[in-house]
Structure 1
């Protein structure tokens, strides 16, 4: 209860973005000290649970609960996040060149809605500095994905050059990559999800991954695509077909939403992507649709509005092999990771499953 009783009240009195930076800097500093890292593990380590250990797209995950992209944008606190019980994490979104992002303020809490709205705009230090941070982090104890995007000034017709550049610079540091084409905060980025732009971009990304694999050797590295929740059914069908045809390893469903139905907080009118509790059912429905459209053959990471083990389990039963959290971590603290894993184990046993893989997509078989 350290977070809810002491840290959260302090952080929630601060500007949200300042609190964000303080958290990342604090985890970074604590994890550099042996005593700090030991303390984090003692407070938050998730006990090993064989029923929850899984292998997805060739990578072994100690548990299915990961950290979504956007919190550790610059891979500054990889050691810290690795010490609090996550089964994996995403860093980024990173772009080839550094960029400052959109004007302040650009991050808003909506406590009554258990939500956040952000219009950060891919603010990050760029691929070169992220590579330095990952180098300094050393050997990771959990899989780390690098979420990649394009610079705001890069027109869509040259977007593939930016994604290629990120892969080239960061290939040796990532366990897998995530192509972000669904943030609502970079102008025209979401249009890359449609038409020939998507097929061309994924072909270029796959080509670059193969080039880097040939250059560096070792096992080939997966690449996933992160899509938006604000898609019509026919759009989802087309996007999924293009993703499958490209040979991409999987999909993350989903990014933030631009919808605002049902919100009550006075920040509800702020522009940007909405995350948290209002996204729970929307993202689960998207996972269900993708799993159904692919016959369960395309691995899915479920993200959006996971606050309880039941939220995570619903996404797994809908078709997700792994899940990610972000907004709930802000509201509930690191203790949530242990609760989610414990709750998932109990829900598996309740339904008669011996391993989490048996629950994936089970809603389609009932």
Structure 2
């Protein structure tokens, strides 16, 4: 469920359901997908969320693949942890966990306008026994941090005893660390100091000290005046750092997770850094992170790692990826830009391949508009062009229409190859290389579809022999590089419109892929659809009687077009899934230039020869509508200079 489907299709529907039902349905669906063979691969493929090595981080001595964690409030029962672990997280929080279950049947409230989620009972959880069982069943490989808390309305002595029991139980498991809720916002400074000191004394008295990291959990509404006195007296040998909670508590015990907690979290982070300037004192924060800019500001304020809760629900499953991209950009800022690879190393060969495809497509179009048949076509048929035309008045027009649509598709492929090589592969973008690699991997073998009816096309064979070495040279020694240009930081109107545009192009890529396979399949089996025969006013038997080699020649054109369309479609699909990034103007022009020849060729030739059957052209109309709508919706997102948004965000942060 990437953002382009979540924000446009699923969120509007889910937001109308009771929040508990919506959460259960969403997590249940993701959990089931992750458990089927290939399910996690599907999740990764749709979102392209594989973390970059540049994101690798450490929580004290613990290595994590990203500095981003999943808050326990998102999936308290661990139903979809295996799926969520594919989103780009580096660790997962479990909890809060209390000794006994805390149950609430009251509805969860999702305030759609603000993105705030109100949980009626902050400490709702299945209890210690079921949490231990959930931990044993985890198979995603990400480190777990468990937030342990005393049960609501426990006395000070009861709270300490419960925390002791929880630490003893979880210290025997594979959890990486604890978020320990030993502070209470409604207690006095002396009471909180005693609580922390008693718990620290208990840890020291254990026969074997827990190997897990220990973070002091600081409620978001905890008084800063008390914090200034507590932090300096904490034992640095026992505590790893602080975890700033994500919820504002109401007098009735409810918890509000939302953007409103961000300013309080930033204030606490700065205060902690003033009180404990040591670099080895870590700060985790989970409040008010709803867009990448929130994460950037929180990290700049002094947080070391972040956890997502309500922001994941509000912004969508792509938020971790967007934050990770922003983190990479922050880490690369100020580092020298690598020297671009030479033209002949890899990307230049893809440009040459694209130019070759464009040239071949133009030549094929000119031939299809004029003579239609090449000399070797006539030799194969044993008939001259005029003789073929006398078989049926529409036959040459029909063959011309097949060849012009193929020519337009070839030009489109060539433009995409050239542009993706020049702008994507040159800068080491993994998605661009994958797009052309996949396209070529299915495009070149489609040559053999021509042989399905025994017709060998020497011109296509020669072109393939010339272009294939270019393709192979373009795929060599092409390491991935991070995107160094500014990335999207805001859930802006342009971003939301861009998601609708991305949805259009994903749908277009899927539709054209299916269409290409169907056309190729028809080309090597029945050759014609009923509308084709109705347009020509002829039957296959009559064509076969006129010349038994006519149908194999037409089949060669159809199968070739189907293979080319599929090659083009899978490339477009990968671009739509993985390549859409704010401010990439070249990509919008690539989509415009790359799609136009195929649509112009396919639609214009049908009207020029009078083949205007509505049912036959309906898929083309649908695809053209998706294409135009996608370009319009993506225009503000791709064409707006993201640097302007970044500068505005930086000024806003400075003022704050």
- TM-score, structure 1 as length reference: 0.81
2:122, 2:253 within 8 Å by CA — same for their partners in 1?
no
Query: Equivalent residues in 2 for 1:1-366 (5 A)?
Result: 1-101=4-104, 103-105=105-107, 107-138=108-139, 140-152=140-152, 154-171=154-171, 172-181=173-182, 189-191=184-186, 194-201=189-196, 203-204=198-199, 207-208=202-203, 211=206, 213=208, 220-244=211-235, 247-258=238-249, 272-297=254-279, 298-352=281-335
1:284, 1:318 within 8 Å by CA — same for their partners in 2?
yes
How far off is 1:336 after superposition?
0.9
Which whole-Å CA distance do the structure 1 matches of 2:81 and 2:336 have between them? 32
Aligned residues: 333
How far off is 1:168 after superposition?
2.2
Which whole-Å CA distance do the structure 1 matches of 2:21 and 2:134 have between them? 21
Which whole-Å CA distance do the structure 1 matches of 2:220 and 2:60 have between them? 23
How far off is 1:122 after superposition?
1.6
Instruction: Give 3-state SS (helix, strand or coil) of 1:251's partner.
Output: strand
Change (3 A) 1:270 1:4: farther
1:192, 1:198 within 8 Å by CA — same for their partners in 2?
no
Which whole-Å CA distance do the structure 1 matches of 2:54 and 2:168 have between them? 36
Which whole-Å CA distance do the structure 2 matches of 1:121 and 1:229 have between them? 13
Higher deviation after alignment, 170-179 or 48-57: 48-57
State the match for 1:265 in structure 2.
none
Structure having the higher helix fraction is 2
2:74, 2:310 within 8 Å by CA — same for their partners in 1?
no
How far off is 1:123 after superposition?
1.8
2:50, 2:87 within 8 Å by CA — same for their partners in 1?
no
1:253, 1:301 within 8 Å by CA — same for their partners in 2?
yes
Instruction: Give 3-state SS (helix, strand or coil) of 1:29's partner.
Output: helix
Change (3 A) 1:236 1:201: closer
Change (3 A) 1:209 1:20: farther
1:309, 1:340 within 8 Å by CA — same for their partners in 2?
yes
How far off is 1:352 after superposition?
4.9
Instruction: Give 3-state SS (helix, strand or coil) of 1:257's partner.
Output: strand
How far off is 1:95 after superposition?
1.0
Change (3 A) 1:164 1:33: farther
1:249, 1:299 within 8 Å by CA — same for their partners in 2?
yes
Deviations 1:277-317 (A, max 9, x none): 21222211211111121014420012211122221121111
How far off is 1:339 after superposition?
0.7
Change (3 A) 1:56 1:25: same
Q: Unaligned regions of 5+ residues in structure 2, if any?
A: 338-652
How far off is 1:133 after superposition?
1.6
Which whole-Å CA distance do the structure 1 matches of 2:123 and 2:141 have between them? 26
1:159, 1:201 within 8 Å by CA — same for their partners in 2?
no
How far off is 1:206 after superposition?
6.6
2:291, 2:315 within 8 Å by CA — same for their partners in 1?
no
Which whole-Å CA distance do the structure 2 matches of 1:229 and 1:200 have between them? 18
Which whole-Å CA distance do the structure 1 matches of 2:21 and 2:200 have between them? 35
How far off is 1:63 after superposition?
0.8
**Which one has the largest radius of gyration?**
2
Which whole-Å CA distance do the structure 2 matches of 1:190 and 1:231 have between them? 5
- TM-score, structure 2 as length reference: 0.47
1:148, 1:166 within 8 Å by CA — same for their partners in 2?
yes
Q: Which has the higher contact order (CA 8 A, sep 6+)?
A: 1
